[in-house]
Amino acid sequence: MNDDGHVAGAGSQVADRIVWLIGAVIAATAAQTAVRFETPIDRAIPLVALFMFAWSWCVRTTRWWPAVQLAIPAIIAAELVPLEETLRLAVIGLATAIAFATALLAQPEIELRLSVFFATTAIVLLRWLPSRDARLFHEVLILAGAWLIILAFQRHDVATPIAIAIAIVTALLTPSNPLRTVALPYMVAGLAALARVKRIRFNRVGAAMCALVLALFPWSGIAARGGVWFLSRHPDRPREAIGVALPPGQSIDVWLPQYSESLIVSGANVARLPPGTILGWIEPGHHAIRMSDASDWGYMRREQFYKSRNHLPNDPAGKVRDYGYSAWIDGAGRVPLPVRRGTIRVTADSRLPRNALLQVESLEMTRR
């Protein structure tokens, strides 16, 4: 009788897993069918749906698993409803963040293997999109370092959301190039192990940290390399293109039409110049354009950022480029105009390096 009961219980578990597996296939297939756009984030929707279903399976013994699965129709709806791209990706990121945080909060103490799985899926979303730019060997090393962080914080084969959050944030902020920077998660894990940190019960804090980071996964590269951009204002004003690149000592005269408000400028081949370096001048008024006003146009690219000495301009005017961990903001910045009507002269500083350029991109208007 005991044997029969054992066999019946095992059979029930197998049947339960088959049902969940079928559900996962249905969710991924529905998400794949819903994809309407060609960005790397949109193409990854089936993977996101699969992860969400897996998160709900991890908490299937709690009452919260249906809430996790509700995020799947939310991301599918974001694909089907006509939304502007930024809003669509923000909805996808927010739904993913809520699903992940709900799954973490469903269990105050998470089994070690499930903690590793949660961290792995989050890091894949944050760092491996778009996949064309992921360096597999480097990314696997970073992933292994995140696992070690969770191991360093675990007690009695369980971990808490704060441990997962520290692992995810460390992985997000770790540059994959050059290779030596991959040591960061291993250093964090080592410090945690040496300190023998007491068991941390800040479950809500940990879940909130994970949610905040995952909500930005459509632009995780910007979060890792210029997160302060999310806190700055981004007015959408009309622009009149100029599109002139000035070598050292050369000038251009710019006629200011009505409603001109600011000049949009950036640099080229200036990523190694220190902050405060003068890029050029605006006349009348002999107004200096400095590296704090603009940066090298591509300094935030994942392959250039580590070598650059640039920072986000004081009044950033760059546009979002690419998606996922390859997302970046170009280094354009706004410079106030000394006059609002008439002609100004913009001159690249003669002391700039020979190959450096001051890029006069456009005029920004209050209205047309």
Mean pLDDT score, 139-153: 91
Q: How many CB atoms lie within 10 A of CB 111?
A: 14
Question: Is 47 inside a domain boundary?
Answer: yes
25-29, 57-61, 143-147, 234-238: which range is least confident on average? 234-238
Sheet holding 357-365, edge to edge: 239-246, 357-365, 260-268, 333-336
On the question of pLDDT at 345 being above 90, the answer is yes
Q: Are residues 174 and 290 in the same domain?
A: no
Q: Are residues 303 and 219 in the same domain?
A: no
Q: Are residues 140 and 106 in the same domain?
A: yes
Q: What is the pLDDT of residues 163-179, one digit of tens each?
A: 899 999 999 988 876 66
Burial class (CB in 10 A: 0-12, 13-18, 19+), 115: buried
Cα 334 to Cα 6, 229, 272, 292, 294: the distances in Å are 71, 14, 21, 10, 7
Mean pLDDT score, 171-198: 72
Q: Are residues 216 and 295 in the same domain?
A: no
Compute the radius of gyration of the chain from its Cα atoms: 25
H or E stretch covering 280? strand 278-283
Identify the pLDDT of residue 199: 47
Residue percentage of the chain with pLDDT more than 70? 92
Looking up residue 306, the CATH number of its domain turns out to be: 2.60.120
Identify the pLDDT of residue 228: 87
Identify the pLDDT of residue 158: 82
State which of 203, 224, 245 marks the end of a domain.
224
Alpha-helical (H) ranges within 59-158 are: 65-69, 71-80, 85-105, 112-127, 136-153
Identify the pLDDT of residue 195: 55
Q: Are residues 216 and 242 in the same domain?
A: no
Identify the pLDDT of residue 194: 63
Q: What is the pLDDT of residues 257-290, one digit of tens each?
A: 988 999 999 999 999 999 889 999 999 999 999 9
Place of tokens 């009505």: 258
Identify the pLDDT of residue 291: 94
Domain count, the chain: 2
Mean pLDDT score, 155-169: 86
Q: Which domain holds residue 74?
A: 2-224
Question: Is 273 inside a domain boundary?
Answer: yes
Task: Measure the CA–CA gap between 176 and 220, rounded to whole angstroms.
Answer: 14
Identify the pLDDT of residue 200: 46
Question: Is 66 inside a domain boundary?
Answer: yes
Q: What is the pLDDT of residues 79-101, one digit of tens each?
A: 999 999 999 999 999 999 999 99
Question: Is 260 inside a domain boundary?
Answer: yes
Mean pLDDT score, 319-336: 95
Task: Measure the CA–CA gap between 356 and 280, rounded to whole angstroms.
Answer: 11
Average pLDDT, the chain: 89
If one compares 350 and 194, the residue with the highest pLDDT of the two is 350
5-14, 107-116, 155-164, 283-292: which range is least confident on average? 5-14
On the question of pLDDT at 216 being above 80, the answer is yes
Could you tell me the two tokens for 59? 């908490």
Q: Are residues 174 and 282 in the same domain?
A: no
Task: Measure the CA–CA gap between 232 and 171, rounded to whole angstroms.
Answer: 24
DSSP bridge pairs for 283 = 345
On the question of pLDDT at 368 being above 70, the answer is no
Mean pLDDT score, 115-141: 93
| Residue at 167: amino acid letter | A
| Cis amide leading into 185 (omega within 30) | no
Could you tell me the two tokens for 353? 């390096």
Identify the pLDDT of residue 9: 58
If one compares 187 and 127, the residue with the highest pLDDT of the two is 127
Question: Is 229 inside a domain boundary?
Answer: no
Identify the pLDDT of residue 5: 55
Q: Are residues 29 and 148 in the same domain?
A: yes
Most confident of 30-39, 172-181, 334-343: 30-39
Q: Are residues 304 and 158 in the same domain?
A: no
Does the global pTM surpass 0.85? no
Q: Are residues 243 and 212 in the same domain?
A: no
